[in-house]
Every structure is written in C-alpha cells, then in structure tokens.
Amino acid sequence: MSRLLGRSLAALTLVAALGLAGCTGGSTPQPSTPTVTPAATPGGDAATASPDATASPTPAPSATSEASQRLPLFTQTVAAVWTGPNPVSGRAYIDALAAAGFDKAAMQVTADQSTIGNAAESIEFAVRIGDQCLVGQVGPSIGDPVTAVLPGLSAGGCLIGQTRAIDW
C-alpha cells in the first residue's frame, strides 16, 4: 500500500469514526461538516495547502465556531510537537496545547502504548470547545499528523473508547 494511500485511508477513517461518534442516542443530530487539516510541516502552512486526495469537504459558511477559528493554532501546535523529540507522546501534545492556551480540563488523550506494552501505532487527543472538538491524530501508521473540527459527543467529551487520565 502506498504511503499516500495509507495517509488518505487514515484521514478518512478518523473523520468517519469520529463523525459517527456524534450519532449516539439522545438528541437530534445537527448537520455538521468536519474540517480536516493535515498539520503544517516546517516551511509549510496547512491552512494554505493545496487541495488533494486527502482533503475533506470545505466547511459550511456558517461553521465559524470558536473551534473552527482555533483550528489553525491547534494544527500549528500539533505540527511543532510532531517535529520535536517526542512525536508520539500524548503528554507532549497535551502540554503543548495547554501552553498554547487550550483548556487542559477540556482535553482527552489516548494511551501511548498498546495493552501489551508496544508503542501505539497512533494516538489521538482532543480539546472540547462548546459543542465541537478539535481532534488530532499522530503516529507512525498515520504519516503526517491530521487535525479536524468534529462534533462533540452527546454524552460529553470528544473521543470514543478508553482514554488516559490527564493527571499531571
């Protein structure tokens, strides 16, 4: 499988899985178009990246939420950690996002290791802002980092499944 195809599949999987996360029972779903942005690389700007096979639909004109407005800073912060000494450390992303002004109490992160102690193929982290989430995914199986604005879960939070405590 080519690296580009792997990246495309990883980005689409993230969008599909997290997009369906908002489909839990309870309230009537609100229409939403996720915004997926490949994280900026040194010397590049993800906000001005040209559209390609990994780009997702453009957000609706009314999608100017606080989360959408803060996506560029989130993406820039993720890219900086990705190119640093701890690119697959959940704590590094949480600490960097908190230093950038995101609310640590509104964050979630998945484990850096699998249940048998191997390094995770990818990790996810998120910040809840109102009823939306800034979500990032990084790891050796992803290629370049992916960031997105997605609807928050109706039960609260952003990520499905087990997350680790942010107790530092």
Q: What is the pLDDT of residues 65-104, one digit of tens each?
A: 899 999 999 999 999 999 999 999 999 999 999 999 999 9
Q: How many domains does the chain have?
A: 1
Are the CB atoms for 64 and 100 separated by under 8 Å? no
Task: Judge whether 56 lies within some domain.
Answer: no
Task: Judge whether 95 lies within some domain.
Answer: yes
With a pLDDT cut of 90, the percent of the chain lying above it is: 61
Range of the structural domain that residue 145 is part of: 3-23+34-48+63-151
Range name among 62-66, 118-122, 159-163 with the lowest pLDDT average: 62-66
> Which pLDDT score is estimated for 36?
56
41 CB neighbour count, 10 Å cutoff = 14
Tokens standing for residue 140: 């050796």
- Which ranges of the chain does DSSP label H, i.e. alpha helix? 3-21, 66-82, 90-99
Q: Of 149, 147, 151, 150, nearest to 46 (Cα)?
A: 147
pTM strictly above 0.75: no
Task: Judge whether 68 lies within some domain.
Answer: yes
Q: Measured between alpha carbons, how far is 60 from 82 in angstroms, rounded to an integer?
A: 29
Amino acid at site 107:
M
Task: Judge whether 86 lies within some domain.
Answer: yes
Task: Judge whether 160 lies within some domain.
Answer: no
Question: 121: which DSSP letter?
Answer: S
Q: Measured between alpha carbons, how far is 31 from 9 in angstroms, rounded to an integer?
A: 23
Average pLDDT over residues 32-51: 45
Task: Judge whether 89 lies within some domain.
Answer: yes
Task: Judge whether 157 lies within some domain.
Answer: no
